[in-house]
Structure 1
Amino acid sequence: MKKRFFRFGFLLLLSVVFVFGWWTPPASAFTDEQKIIAEVWRIVNQSYVDDTFNHQNWWLVRQKALKQPLKNREEAYAAIGQMLASLADPFTRHLQPDQYRSLQVNTSGELTGVGLQIALDEETGELQVLSPIAGSPAERAGIQPRDRILEIDGLSTKNISLDEAAARMRGPIGTNVTLRIIRDKTEPQEIKLVRDRIALNPVFAELRTQPEGLPFGYIRLNQFNANATQELANAIARLEQEGAEAYILDLRNNPGGLLQSGIEIARLWLDKGTIVYTVNRQGIIGSFDATGSALTKDPLVVLVNRGTASASEILAGALQDNHRAFLVGEKTFGKGLIQSLFDLSDGSGLAVTVAKYETPNHHDINKLGIIPDRVVSWESVSRDLVATEADPQYKAGLDLLIPPAVIADAA
């Protein structure tokens, strides 16, 4: 009897020790630093696309973060960074207040810096160029999509966050920053850039005429920011009045932006059909559809390349799968994940991957990209020759508009 009681008491003691070992104070007793950690954990717990949280016990991750001695807000932010890093998802990240403000500006206004859209390669962790912004110091210096940034002002980019890298490249107009760049298998090179004001007007459009006399609208869309839908609608309306009978939409080196902007712009071209499917962590599929409000039914060619990413791929996939456009160029970047932004109580922000998307034909393009209808390799041409007949991808698109090779109008 005593032996049995001893075993029972020993097991009870072990249970108490185990529970006490992971005990944390109630939320009402949290410090300010613990409160922001708990806030981030709760948002991820409710919203993150992977309900296995990278095959780990997400509750224990919370407990580990809260048990750290946190003396100030910087240490709390470091603990949040470690907690999110365990998800192995570079797109789910904490944004300190200044970084969060910069991101909001990037999708709605203008900024000063070198004009690079960047991403972290999910497999190698390398800092990679999505695309340079048109007319920016980076574009003028010849930096290209898929270039890898090894150093920023001598600081290695290994284990650096996207937001820290962006912050280091931004700065006052006229100041210098030096990037160490490697392209494919060539030797690394140092490129010195002078920061400038980066214009974020996302649309360039003009009426052009082929030798055969067919007037067409050439539209280059650089980014899906808050102004993109209205600016593109204005451009299409103007080109229709000027007599455009076909269109070339240039999405090359467009790194994406706002999901809603991509959907609304697809509706400018589509009268009917699904634009995109979204799949959350429960496997529930939602969809966004055309609303019968297309501004034109004229033939459409879309130019894409390795820098065409995210919302650009949503638009390209919608137009391709609905047989509304003919895609020309290279396989696209392959970012098929959707992030939502969350305001945090201390003025910082949180970007969380909340879903993945599929094209209307249920193609998951994440890490795979979209293959164009006509593959044409990119050949480096000077900036002033892009979208001229010296540009092979543009020329291939132009050939599709020449009678009798004109692509069919939308069904």
Structure 2
Amino acid sequence: MNCSPIRSRLQRVALVGGAIATTSFSLLFPVGSRAVNAALQNSPKTVLDEVWQIVNRDYVDDSFNQVNWSEVRKELLSRDYTSRQQAYAAIRRALSQLNDPYTRFLDPEQFEALTDQTAGELSGIGLQLSLDERTQEIEALETIPNSPALRAGLQSGDRILEIDGQRTRGMDVERAAGLIRGEVGTSVTLKVQRGVETPFELTLVRSRIELPTVSYTIRQEEQARIGYIQLDEFNAHAAEQMYRALQDLNGENVDAFVLDLRGNPGGLLNISVEIARMWIDRGTIVSTVDRRGQNETIEATGMAMTDRPLAVLVDKNSASASEILAGALQDNGRGTIIGTQTFGKALVQAVNSLSDGSGLAVTIAHYYTPKGTDINKTGISPDITVQLTVEQEFQLTLEPQIRGTQFDPFYARAIDVLQTSTPVAAN
């Protein structure tokens, strides 16, 4: 996605997940207007002071990890910076004193990647690429639903020989993907070879594509119809996609559900709440406490879409917003949590855009499960633990298609629980 590096609005987002881009995140993104002038854009110290001001105003620990934050500002502004990179390095050194891995500075490229991720959209043709290490050729790996690539008939295994006339042999995947991405409405021409057929050219118009984060299917397990839902992250489209999944599965009269949160790093706080409300009719979803000790409790709204039995699959990489959802389901007795201890991130970040297109994620609150449990650094303990052997872990990694089937030990255990503890198998 190509965006202007200078944004005319200050964005402030709230995340609930692990570490941004590397583990998990939990976000809040309120938006407020802010004028940006050329003089500020050209001063490295401007961004530096913006970061200091945001941390000073919002950081969850008003002692700043016992650091004299005012002295930090004096030190930062007393130096001369000949480039933005020098200022960025100084910002990161200052933030490291907080000893908080989730409060972090994002350069413009990192900030753009994060906003794209949380938006759940991309600008392009919707084609995932891979590199054949043997032939050094770029290949089509998968097309995204409702994308120009899918409509054009591109298939897995198609070799992309050229992109706008540039030969791709020996090119890395990142470079090829960068050539294919671009502004909505612009076009890109690919030279494609399928098998041993004669190469052909396709010209595709880039568009805005909603990325699927919810996938679902119906599994027939003995006499029970199981709605299996996999939720990959809590981006801006996850709630509407979950709503559609539940609508469709309810229409198919499934007997029970398996909700798979394994590997889900988190995402937007409000989206995790929206999705929790689809499963929980009454009760607390989550509570947050800010630096002033102010407590906000978020409740269900009596709008649950189903009361069918539910099993929830989690693992060590289920983090932040995933833990909010799993904790709400567990504490309200709405679902059986199955798997391994989760990641353990109970902190909420706000993500702020800065005047030069960079961004700052800053921890603004601590969250607790409905029963008041602090899961930070400990995670959620499943109701039923599933430990995989090395061979089983390898198989799930090597054969992702078995996830959510009886060859998947997590899913198989969930089916055992649903069939023995509920009357679904007798329907």
User: TM-score of the superposition, structure 2-length normalised?
Assistant: 0.67
Larger radius of gyration, structure 1 or 2? 1
1:390 matched residue in structure 2:
407
Instruction: Kindly report which structure 2 residues correspond to 1:262-273, keeping only aligned pairs within 5 A, or say none.
Output: 262-273=272-283
SS at match of 1:340: strand
Distance 1:233 1:113 in 2: 26
| Contact 1:92 1:353 (C-alpha < 8 Å) held by counterparts | yes
Q: Identify the structure with bigger relative contact order (alpha carbons < 8 Å, sequence gap 6+).
A: 2
User: For residue 422 of structure 2, what is the amino acid of its counterpart?
Assistant: V
- Look up the equivalent residue of 2:401 and give its one-letter code: D
* Unaligned segments of structure 1, at least 5 residues: 1-28, 116-133, 137-167, 176-197
- The structure richer in strand per residue is 2
Aligned counterpart in structure 2 of residue 344 of structure 1, from 351, 354, 360: 354
CA distance in 1, matches of 2:376, 2:173: 27
1:297 aligned residue (297, 301, 307)? 307
Letter of the 2:411 counterpart: Y
Q: Report if aligned partners of 2:128, 2:142 keep a CA contact under 8 Å in 1.
A: no
* Counterpart in the other structure of 1:214: 224
Q: Report sequence identity in percent.
A: 45
Structure 2's unaligned 5+ residue stretches are 1-38, 131-140, 144-171, 180-208
Give 1:308 deviation, angstroms: 0.6
DSSP 3-state at the match of 1:401: helix
* Cα distance in 1, alignment partners of residues 60 and 94 from structure 2: 16
- The answer on whether the counterparts of 2:106 and 2:361 sit within 8 Å (CA) in structure 1 is yes
**Pairs within 5 Å for 1:10-159:** 32-108=43-119, 109-110=121-122
Please list the CA deviations of residues 350-380 of structure 1 after superposition, one character each: whole Å capped at 9, or x if unmatched.
1111111110011111110000001111331
Residues 90-112 of structure 1: CA distance to partner in whole angstroms, max 9, x if unpaired?
21111122221111111121489
Change (3 A) 1:340 1:407: farther
Separation in 2 of the partners of 1:202 and 1:360?
26
Q: Distance in 2 between matches of 1:76 and 1:174?
A: 27
Cα distance between partner residues in 1 of 2:373 and 2:413: 25
The number of residue pairs the alignment matches comes to 307
* Matched letter for residue 406 of structure 1: T
1:247 and 2:257 correspond: yes
Partner of residue 370, structure 2: 360
CA RMSD across the alignment: 2.7
Query: Contact 2:342 / 2:380 at 8 angstroms: preserved in 1?
Result: yes
Contact preservation (8 Å) 1:95, 1:348: yes
Q: Which amino acid aligns with 1:386?
A: R
Question: Which secondary structure state, in structure 2, belongs to the residue aligned with residue 390 of structure 1?
Answer: coil
- The code of the aligned residue for 1:173 comes to A
Q: Using a 3 Å threshold, how does the CA distance of structure 1 residues 52 and 174 change in structure 2: closer, same or farther?
A: closer
Letter aligned with residue 304 of structure 2: A
In the alignment, is residue 173 of structure 1 matched against residue 190 of structure 2?
A: no
With over 3 angstroms needed to count, the CA separation of the structure-2 counterparts of 1:100 and 1:114, relative to structure 1, is: farther
Quote the Cα distance in structure 1 between the aligned partners of 2:211 and 2:323: 20
- Check whether the contact 1:113–1:169 (CA below 8 A) recurs between aligned residues: no
Q: Which residue of 2 aligns with 1:373?
A: 383
Q: 8 Å contact 1:300–1:407 — kept in the other structure?
A: no
C-alpha separation in 2, matches of 1:340 and 1:375? 33
Amino acid at match of 2:408: D
Give, in angstroms, the shift of residue 199 of structure 1.
8.7
Q: Is the 8 A contact 1:278 1:286 kept in 2?
A: yes
When residues 350 and 103 of structure 1 are mapped into structure 2, their CA distance, relative to the original with a 3 A threshold, is same
Shift of 1:113: 8.6
Question: In structure 2, what is the equivalent of residue 406 of structure 1?
Answer: 422
Contact 1:400 1:407 in 2 (8 A): no
Q: Secondary structure at the match of 1:257?
A: strand
Deviation at 1:288, TM superposition (A): 1.1
CA distance in 2 between counterparts of 1:318 and 1:107 reads 22
Q: Which amino acid aligns with 1:172?
A: A
Structure 1 position 88, deviation (Å): 1.4
Question: Given that residues 303 and 327 in structure 1 are in contact (C-alpha distance below 8 angstroms), is that contact kept between their aligned partners in structure 2?
Answer: yes
1:292: how far off? 0.8
CA drift at 1:258? 0.9
With over 3 angstroms needed to count, the CA separation of the structure-2 counterparts of 1:46 and 1:232, relative to structure 1, is same
Alpha-carbon distance between aligned partners in 2 of 1:234 and 1:282, rounded to the nearest angstrom: 39
260 and 407 in structure 1: CA distance in 2 versus 1, 3 angstrom threshold: farther
Map of 2:295 onto structure 1 = 285
C-alpha separation in 1, matches of 2:174 and 2:260: 27
For 2:85, the aligned partner's letter is E
